[in-house]
Amino acid sequence: MTEFGYSALKEKVASLYQRSNELWNASNFKASEAEFDINLAPLNLVFAGQYNAGKSSLIKMLTGIEHIKVGAGVTTDVVTQYQHKSINIWDTPGIHAGECEQHDAKALEAIAKADLLVYVITNELFDDVVGAAFRDLCFNQGRAKEMMIVINKFESDSADKETKIMGITQLLEPKIPEDFPIVFTDAQSFFDSLDEKDVQERQELLALSNAEGLTKAIDDFVAQRGLYARLTTPLQQLQITLESKIDELTISDPLQKGLVSLLMQNKRVFQANKRDLIKKVGADLDKLNGQIVEQGNQLADALGGEQEEFEKVQDSSIYECERLINSALEDLQVTVSECLSDLEAELVELANTPASLKINEALDAAKNFNPDAENRKVGSFSKDDPVKLNSALSQSMTKSAEKGFSFLAKSAVGDASKTGLKSVSGSTLHSAIKEIGGFFGYKYKAWEAVKIADKIGRGAKFLGPAMAIFGVGMQMYDDYQQSEHAKKILKIKRDIRKSFKEYSDAVRKSIDAQLEKLLDTGFDLPITNIDEALQEIRSQAEGKSDSANALRLQLEDVVMLREEIQSLY
């Protein structure tokens, strides 16, 4: 049985917290309960759909929970919650099945809690009642982005998957099948495999059940929706706690402590502004995505009317997409500029704090101090003389600190207290960010990695088939021809919506790629520099105890797991 990715990773996070707590207790560290009070949110899956579609069977197939009753004639008439490791699963009665309205109310209450709605139908697809319930959830309640469609009992007839998908296309409009994860399963084949003694037959039945495919689809959905962030947030908090305790155990000099603290503060400034930029750009791109898709919907809806009107709508849609993209790029330019200005302002503010000024003064003094020359001078030294810094900040440590501050630039760290934001505006930081940030303006328009004329076709892709539809409209003379004609219209509508969606996705992917370059240069590089500097400074510090070494190993595990989870989304 395939394990859900979220469950496996959640258990690893919980295990790291438990291990950290044990290290704390073994070393008699003082810690507040909040430092190890972890409450990881479970993943909430709700199975909904028609009666006898096999919801309970699918849940049992995925979880292996033995007491779930399945089989012919067995139906769920109450909402039942199952706890499967790190996942809460709700099995609901058939919505609007006509037997008990109270069942529907309970099902809707469970649905409101769902991170993912698994809407189950059979190979017979939607009937009017179940289809209406699906559309209500999808459009009236706005749950389309949380919905997955599972077509169970797929092996009960000979129709292929594309035929089944076309069979639900009209009900999904103005959405298209490509807007939803659609999984074909056959739970009965899974249970038949449990009694099959022949190894090859058993494997074939398991393949027909597609249990692994359904599990993977759920894992992919969790990643797509960013739900793994629920696990990385507590890991980040644990990482900060471990780093703080290691520094407390290994770094005794106040000046060294101040240096590490300042580097950590700068790191948090970059991290917070990076998250803010990603969030704001994501909102801009979500808006653009919806606007482009809507242009495709308008063009698809125009099919079936007058030919002249269709041509006008098509020209208008293409023009509007171009205008929307240019407008979005202007918005992105503003968004990026504002976020970078906020970053610069926070760095200046941090550079002007008394602690920062003192640390940088000490760094400059240590870097420029020549003990041999000073020893030749007549007189004694005061406690504030630079020679006293030699024991606190070695030359190698000074170089490490400069490495951590390198991307902030000399002016951003050293002269900010004298010249403020003006100094930062001419710094390495500002120049590098300004250069890469310029992509979101004029550079993008010249780039044109995805051309509307190629992707949407300027009539070549849609107008030809559409004209054939218009041309035969008056020639139909029986029900069969009318049915075939309707199928062709539906297919072209789906192609139109799909092409606009693909175009929108391609535009977003292209902009995301450029955003990654900005993040790498403007945020990830300085964060990496700071991390390397911290590692070097900490490695030079004294007081390496067994407790500190144990915490270091724990910290490595935390960082590795966090990187593993982040790679999924």
Domains of the chain with bracketed CATH: 43-224 (3.40.50.300), 253-365+384-541 (no CATH)
Q: How far is CA 269 from CA 233, 283, 312, in A?
A: 16, 21, 51
The answer to whether the Cα torsion of 365, 368, 374, 377 is positive or negative is negative
Q: Provide CB contacts within 8 A for 59, sequence distance 6+.
A: 47, 65, 68, 82, 89, 91
User: Residue 473: what pLDDT?
Assistant: 52
User: Helix, strand or coil for residue 542?
Assistant: coil
Question: Which neighbouring-strand residues pair with 121?
Answer: 151
Three-state DSSP class for residue 521: helix
- What is the per-residue pLDDT for 411? 33
Q: Which helix (H) or strand (E) holds 91?
A: strand 87-91
pLDDT value for 276: 92
Instruction: Supply the pLDDT for residue 359.
Output: 73
d(CA 20, CA 118): 37
Tell me which residue has tokens 């008699």.
28
3-state DSSP assignment of residue 218: helix
3-state DSSP assignment of residue 167: helix
Angle between helices 479-519 and 463-472 (to 10 degrees): 160
- Tell me the one-letter amino acid at 332: L
Taking only the tens of pLDDT, the chain with its 569 residues reads 567 888 888 888 888 888 888 887 776 666 554 455 667 777 889 998 887 888 888 988 988 888 887 765 556 667 888 888 878 898 888 765 555 555 566 777 788 888 899 999 888 888 888 888 889 888 888 888 889 999 988 777 777 888 889 889 989 988 999 999 999 998 888 888 888 888 898 899 889 999 999 999 998 888 888 788 888 888 888 888 888 888 877 777 677 777 788 888 888 888 899 989 999 999 999 999 999 999 999 988 888 777 788 888 888 888 888 888 888 888 888 888 888 888 878 887 887 788 777 776 766 665 555 545 544 444 443 444 444 444 444 555 555 555 545 444 333 434 434 444 344 444 444 554 454 444 444 344 433 444 543 555 444 355 555 555 555 555 555 666 677 777 788 888 888 888 888 888 888 888 888 788 788 877 888 888 788 777 777 776 655 567 778 888 888 888 888 888 888 77
